Amino acid sequence: MSYQVESSAPAREERLKAGIAFGGTCRELKCSMNKGGCLNAANRSFSQTYGCQFTLSLGILNTIRNAVVIMHGPIGCGFCSTATIGTGKFYKRLRDPQANGTIWLSTNLDESAVIGGGEESLRKTVLFADKEYRPETIIVVSSCVPALIGDDVDGIVQSLQSDVAAKLVPVNCEGFKTKVMATAYDAAYNGIMKKLVNPYGEWRKLTESDKDNIDRDYRISRKVNIFNVGSMSRQDEVELERLLKALGLEVTFLPCYSEPDDFSISLEAALNVSICGTHDDYYLQFLKENFGIPYIIDTIPIGRKNTDRWILKIAEFFHLEDEAKSLIEKENEILNKSLDTFREILKGKKVFIGGGEVRILSTAEVLQDFNMEIVGLKGHHIDKFVEPIFESLENIDDVSINIATQHPFEQANIVRKIKPDVIVIHTGGNNISAKHGLPILPLYGPSYNYMGYTGVFEIGRRLARVVKNYQFNKNIKKYRPLPFKESWYEKNPYTYIKEN
């Protein structure tokens, strides 16, 4: 291979100056972002748990087909995979009806490994995985402990490669290395970059006619790789594919639910397009530098304006603006009318939105489209990728925004002060969010459509249903208390954010 890949992905607080602790209005946030620096250093004197690099990278790695994932660490690292035993297989089978569920192994590092190193444990696990399952690839994900005991995982993997049939992919993502959990995506891509990106492209026939050649070159000149995210659904992909196919483009989705070879095959494409800037900039930049594939990272296709913009950006690249404009116009015309019944139900309702930076702001655009009032936002972290999405929002400058990865204690305080009618939120903290006693719509879901034009309709349809009856959460609020002391609610919600 002609290119060099660093042994592990840099933390995003360094690479992107991402921040995880902020409280104020959107205007204040934009100002601090322009200044840079201080936002990046802030942290909390009281913190709550959230995903680490390791757990989050599994969101991509556990979806790769024909793979075995090895959790290189003590027995608990990767335990979260339990939650996707059933769904993981189901979603894989939407892409390949024969696909296996996720097979994962733990190297189960114990006290003797902590003292003597984890190399032998890893070696045995890799050999077992290869012999037992004969996968195309074995992905070795290493946690905090191997990093602390100084295991040279890349080296071990390199030396094992000749003993196994599977392609070995080391992914270094020790949790303590970063407080920005989205660094996980870079870690997963870093492993993919190191081992799965081989520039052979599609398999060629032994003999090809000139016409075959021309056909293929034409196809490649129209081929777009779309970089999907684990939090989106197959329905989302179908919708985005529909829109780009309408422009005459050919579409492939990566990296989630891909087959290991897909990373090489995808090198023969005209353009790489990101769905969510939080996920792919590290990898797309790599593909551009080493394989000359241009990329677009702009907005996420959630909401009408964002979807319009996303399609237009892609169309501009292929000089298909006129076709795109006519498509966008038609799509909007039909969709707009169909939203009226939901607007009637949702108009004026105050909404609090929490989750990933890109998702919350784009979802805010959808909710503004329903004439709802955005009263509070909470983003996992903040970096430059939100800028284009801010542009799609109206009257947002005075809205409160909290940058906090999960941290439901700040949310509880804020929600009590701003009194929303509806909450749209990320998973994981709903034992707390439910106790606000309000209707809740999940911010994302791998079995629902949120993206493209149909996604807007689906969000409206579901939200209009959710607000009709929220007795479940009302009763929970009434009978099950939140764990915060009353005195907490009297304080400023950002009391525990500190400059470090």
Interface positions, 175-234, toward another protein (CB under 8 A): 175-179, 181
Of residues 124 and 417, the one with the C-beta less far from another protein: 124
Is 98 an interacting residue with respect to another protein (CB under 8 A)? no
Kindly state the number of chain residues that form the binding site for another protein, as judged by CB under 8 A: 77
Q: What angle do CA 5, 8, 9 make, to 5 degrees?
A: 90
Q: Which of 10, 28, 48, 152 binds another protein (CB under 8 A)?
A: 48
Q: Which of 36, 76, 199, 294 binds another protein (CB under 8 A)?
A: 76
User: Tokens 């039909």, residue?
Assistant: 334
Which residues are paired to 401 by β-bridges? Answer: 24, 377
Cβ at position 381, least distance to another protein in Å = 12
DSSP helix/strand/coil, 488: helix
> Residue 178 to residues 10, 51, 345, 456: CA-CA distances in angstroms?
9, 11, 43, 34
Cβ at position 375, least distance to another protein in Å = 21
Binding span for another protein by CB under 8 A among 43-51, 90-98, 358-366, 464-472: 43-51
**What is the Cα–Cα distance from 256 to 300, expressed in whole angstroms?**
17
315 CB-near residues (< 8 Å, 6+ apart): 247, 321, 323, 324
Cβ at position 50, least distance to another protein in Å = 5
Strands, E assignment, 380-476: 400-403, 422-425, 440-442
Is 444 an interacting residue with respect to another protein (CB under 8 A)? no
Interface characters, 403-442, with another protein (x: CB under 8 A)? --xxxxx------------------xxxxx----------
Q: Nearest to residue 156, comparing CAs of 110, 192, 120, 116?
A: 120
Is 90 an interacting residue with respect to another protein (CB under 8 A)? no
Is 468 an interacting residue with respect to another protein (CB under 8 A)? no
> Residue 85 to residues 91, 100, 210: CA-CA distances in angstroms?
11, 10, 48
Cβ at position 66, least distance to another protein in Å = 15
Cβ at position 317, least distance to another protein in Å = 38
Is 35 an interacting residue with respect to another protein (CB under 8 A)? no
Q: What angle do CA 33, 38, 42 make, to 5 degrees?
A: 110
Interface characters, 377-406, with another protein (x: CB under 8 A)? ----------------------------xx
Of residues 38 and 148, the one with the C-beta less far from another protein: 148
Binding span for another protein by CB under 8 A among 101-109, 255-263, 304-312, 452-460: 101-109
**What is the Cα–Cα distance from 104 to 240, expressed in whole angstroms?**
31
Cβ at position 289, least distance to another protein in Å = 27
One-letter amino acid identity for 129? A
Is 295 an interacting residue with respect to another protein (CB under 8 A)? no
**What is the Cα–Cα distance from 281 to 182, expressed in whole angstroms?**
11
Is 50 an interacting residue with respect to another protein (CB under 8 A)? yes
Is 165 an interacting residue with respect to another protein (CB under 8 A)? no
DSSP class of residue 384 equals G
According to DSSP, the β-strands at 22-25 and 400-403 are antiparallel
